[in-house]
Amino acid sequence: MAKVIVVTSGKGGVGKTTSTAAIGAALAQSGDKVVVVDFDVGLRNLDLVMGAERRVVFDLINVIQGDAKLHQALIRDKRLENLSILPASQTRDKDALTSDGVAKVIAELREKFDWVLCDSPAGIERGPAMAMHHADIAIVVTNPEVSSVRDSDRIIGLLDSKTERAMRGERVEKHLLVTRYDPARAARGDMLKVEDVLEILSIPLLGIIPESQEVLKASNVGVPVTLNNPETAPARAYQDAVRRLRGETVPMVIPQERKTLVERLFGRRVA
C-alpha cells in the first residue's frame, strides 16, 4: 500500500526541498519505489537539488492538463533507478493545479510507487493546500526559530482541517523534523531547544538535522545529502529519520560531524 507524504512547513527556506530530496533518496536506497513530486509551480527547485534540471521535458502541469502522460514527465534518478522525480512547471501559475487533476495524478502515482513524497511550496495558499490534500503522512519541517515555529503551528492546523483525511474524519499522521539545529547554541540558551519546539507544537519528533555545511555542498552539486556523503552528520540524521518513518525505534541522538585528526589538532574544520 503506497504512502503519500507531504513535506511542509508554512515558512520558506527552512529546508523542505533539501529534506524531500534527502528522505526520498534514503527511502529509495533500501529498494522501495519512490517518487518525489515538486508542487512549487512557478518556482521549481527540487529538480535542481536532485541534479535533474537538464532532463526536465514535461512537468506536473503538463500531466494535469493532458499534454503529457505521467510516464513521460517522470524523470528517473541517475544514481538510484527506483527513485523518480516529477518536476513542477516553471512557466505556469499555481492556478493550473486543479483539485481533480492533482487527485488523478496522485492516484496514478500510488499505483506505481511505494512512497509518494510531495514537496510543498511555502505559504498557506493553493499550492501548499494541493500538496497536503492527499497526504497520509505529513513531515513538518521546522527551524528552531520563532517565525518558523509559528508558521508550523498554522500548517498543523490546516493538516487537521483541510486535508482529505481530515474531511473524512480521519487523521493525517504528523511528524516534526527539526532542521538547522545547533546543539551548542541551544545548550547556551541562544536557540530554542528541540524540547521547547516539541512542547509548543506537540506532534511526535521524526528527527533532528544538525546545521551543517554538508547540506550546501550537496545542493551545489545536485545530489541529495544522503547520497552525496552518507557518513556526514546531516546524512546520518536523515537516515535515522527515515528508519523512524518506517516504524523502527531509533534512539534520538543528534549526529555530530566526525573530525579528522588534523581538524582535531587545529580545533577547526580545515576544508
Partner 1 sequence: MSIFDFFRRKPTAHVARDRLQILLAHERSTFGRSDLVARLQEEILQVIRRHLDIDPDKVQIKLDRGDHVSTLEIDIEVPLTERAKVA
Binding site for partner 1 (CB under 8 A): 145-146, 149-150, 153-154, 157, 160-162, 186, 188-193, 196, 199-200
Minimum distance from residue 162 beta carbon to partner 1 (Å): 8
Beta carbon nearer to partner 1, 99 or 202:
202
**Interatomic CA distance for residues 223 and 22, integer angstroms:** 9
* Closest of 75, 85, 81 to residue 55, by C-alpha: 75
Beta carbon nearer to partner 1, 18 or 142:
142
Q: Within 10 A of 107 (CB to CB), how many other CB atoms are there?
A: 12
* Closest of 27, 37, 8 to residue 241, by C-alpha: 27
Minimum distance from residue 174 beta carbon to partner 1 (Å): 14
Cell triple for residue 59? 512537468
Beta carbon nearer to partner 1, 66 or 189:
189
Minimum distance from residue 223 beta carbon to partner 1 (Å): 34
* Closest of 7, 11, 6 to residue 153, by C-alpha: 11
CA 145 to each of CA 71, 116, 182, 228: distance values in angstroms, whole numbers, following the listed order: 40, 29, 11, 27
Contact 163, 4 (CB under 8 A): no
Minimum distance from residue 22 beta carbon to partner 1 (Å): 26
Cell triple for residue 160? 487537521
Beta carbon nearer to partner 1, 102 or 191:
191
Beta carbon nearer to partner 1, 161 or 249:
161
